[in-house]
Amino acid sequence: MSQPREFEHGPEDDRDQLVRYLLGLLPSDRAERLDEAAITDDDIAARLRVVENDLVDAYVRGDLTGETLERFESHYLLSPRRRRMVTFARGFVRAVDGAAPASASEPESQVASSTRPADADPHVAAAPRERSAGRGRFSPMLLALAAVLVAACGVLIVQAARLRTGLEAARSQTAALEQRTRSLEQQLADQKASKDAAVKELERARTASAAPVGAAKTAASGVEMLPAALVLLPQTRAIGPIPTLTLPAHTERVPIELRLESNDFVQYEGGLKDPATSQVIWRSGWLFATWAPSRRLVRLAVPANLLKPQHYSLDLSGRDASGHVEVVGSYAFQVAPQ
């Protein structure tokens, strides 16, 4: 591709124009045309890179002065990419300068006069020295460049490992939070259902409290009847009367209060067990304890259609804040025939 006519100058004019372009000293219209030329013309893009590298090296080595230095710092260094170039060049130059020998070698003329025969061809003897000098100039530069590249790769690998570890930890935390949220939502749903059932049974009991719900049996027979809720105490080794429940007709749920000796758990769950089969036939879901005057209790609402005339036991389990579950106590009662 042919380059624009305005950039067809001699090497010095072209270099000066590119330097002025990098320092922002060209008029805007010429700068725009050079922007386009740097994209469409590979030759101009290559020359621009060479001039830019030389300009950065001169700045790093402290060779810029006057207006050029001022424009370099006020205009060129505004770009983050260019600042990274300067930082890399500064490290590279420092590495190259550090790799240079601390003291100069003997002058080539002295070495040549002491080792070359009198009739030796000076051009033949100078060739190995020039090749050795070339290797001496470029080997430290290549070693320094390799060291910089290896260090940069090491930093990138470490950063990638840290990011990967952080991402895995964040995913684990997110999964744990989601699981905890689902558990709490299920607990709230169970609690709401139990509360609604208890409220309905309480309203039904209050409505029916005007009429007798069953004759109370005497204490000598060891029978206890409650009009609203059956109150159960934890079983102990002492032998005593077992509370008896007589189900009124058309009863859907039976309210039961389980007294607590202590409130050491966040939530409680009741399980109705049939002693004849030792099978749990109903669970209440997780509930919160209720504070009544001078006592603590858990209110349940057992479906009446599960109860038949026989003995039953209610096993109460508690769950602490960490999710650990253990049995709190067992409560016994019996259902009397109607």
Residue 238 has pLDDT above 70, yes or no: no
Evaluate whether residue 218 is within a structural domain. Answer: no
CATH of the domain at 291: 2.60.40.2550
Residue 122 phi/psi, 5-degree rounding, is: -65, -30
Q: Do residues 26 and 20 make contact, with C-beta atoms less than 8 angstroms apart?
A: yes
Q: Name residue, tokens 């190259």.
A: 96
pLDDT level of residue 95 (50, 70, 90 thresholds): confident
How many whole angstroms separate alpha carbon 182 and alpha carbon 71?
62
Q: Which two tokens stand for residue 207?
A: 């409505």
Q: Is 322 contained in some domain?
A: yes
Mean of the per-residue pLDDT values of the chain: 78
Bigger pLDDT: 14 or 70?
70
Q: What is the DSSP letter of 278?
A: T
Residue 243 DSSP label:
P
Residue, of 129 and 175, whose pLDDT is higher? 175
In a domain, 239, yes or no: yes
Model confidence pLDDT, tens digit, residues 85-94: 999 999 988 8
Say if 193 falls within a structural domain. Answer: no
Residue 253 lies in a domain: yes
Structure tokens, 52: 């830019």
Kindly report, residue by residue over 23-62, the tens digit of the pLDDT. 999 999 999 999 999 899 999 999 999 999 999 999 999 9
Q: Which of 262, 283, 279, 280 is nearest to 194 (CA)?
A: 283
Kindly state whether residue 248 falls inside one of the protein's structural domains. yes
Q: Is the residue at 325 inside a domain?
A: yes
Res. 64 pLDDT band, cuts 50 70 90: very high
- The answer to whether 336 and 246 have CB atoms below 8 angstroms apart is yes
Number of domains in the chain: 1
Mean pLDDT over 126-133 rounds to: 41
The per-residue pLDDT for 215 is 36
Q: Where in the sequence is the domain holding 244, given as residue range(s)? A: 230-336
Which two structure tokens, joined as six digits, stand for 315? 């096993």
Residue range 325-335: mean pLDDT, rounded: 90
Residue 160 forms part of a structural domain: no
The confidence band for 312, taking pLDDT boundaries of 50, 70 and 90, is very high
